Amino acid sequence: MGVSGDCLRVALYARVSDKKLTEEGKRRQDVMRQVDMLREYCKRVGYEVIEPPYIDDGLSAWTDDLNSRPAFAKLRSDMLQGHIKKVLIESLDRFSSDMCSGMGYLKEWSDRNAIVQSLQAGEHEVTTDDGWMKNAIFLMLAEYRIRSLRSKVRSGMARRANDERAKCRSCGIIHMGRHPKSCKCLKCLKKKGGV
């Protein structure tokens, strides 16, 4: 598909799920890495970037609650008002990690002749049988990855809850990670007279 005049101006959407740091103190996920990649791509192909980019930093895409992703909600609103005809993302799981809502958003954009394009897979359309199937698979895999990770976390938490070494001797609370030498939870602080 050739680039139309409306699609020469693109909105950038970037999202990462958390703001956790590595042991070296750097972000595990850097949302600006995505923005830089998207800007570089736009420069290479001659797209004009609509400023500022839409960024949801540290927010999950595994939800249909638009209040939990304010930048995505604003992007969608701007698209519905006709201000945006094309959005560029790194990959479809940045747009949504929930299969049902993701397919709904893609259909909504398509119904308004707006284009969702990712660096990894090109344009995401759901008007053809092949396009619908391809995007359903992408979103299903994104949702499966999230479900699998959550299942592993829950399993680890359950195993840790049964490990007496993980329980605080003062309050019985399970501490994630290594148990601190001096517990600073509310119950322990109250027992020590610190609160």
Yes or no: say if 85 and 117 are a contact pair by the CB < 8 Å rule.
no
- Residue 55 and residue 131 in one domain: yes
Q: Quote the domain boundaries for residue 177.
A: 170-195
Residue 66 resides in a domain? yes
**Count of Cβ atoms closer than 10 Å to residue 166 Cβ:** 17
**Count of Cβ atoms closer than 10 Å to residue 73 Cβ:** 15
Residue 154 resides in a domain? no
pLDDT digits (tens, 9 = 90+) for 141-181: 877 877 777 666 666 666 655 665 556 666 666 655 554 55
Task: Specify the pTM.
Answer: 0.66
Q: How far is CA 121 from the centre of its chain?
A: 17
Mean pLDDT by 10 residues, the chain (195 residues): 62 83 65 93 95 88 73 94 94 82 89 91 83 83 76 63 60 57 60 56
Residue 67 sits at φ, ψ, to 5 deg, of: -65, -25
- Residue 121 and residue 187 in one domain: no
- Residue 188 and residue 143 in one domain: no
- Residue 66 and residue 120 in one domain: yes
Place of tokens 């609103």: 77
**Count of Cβ atoms closer than 10 Å to residue 82 Cβ:** 11
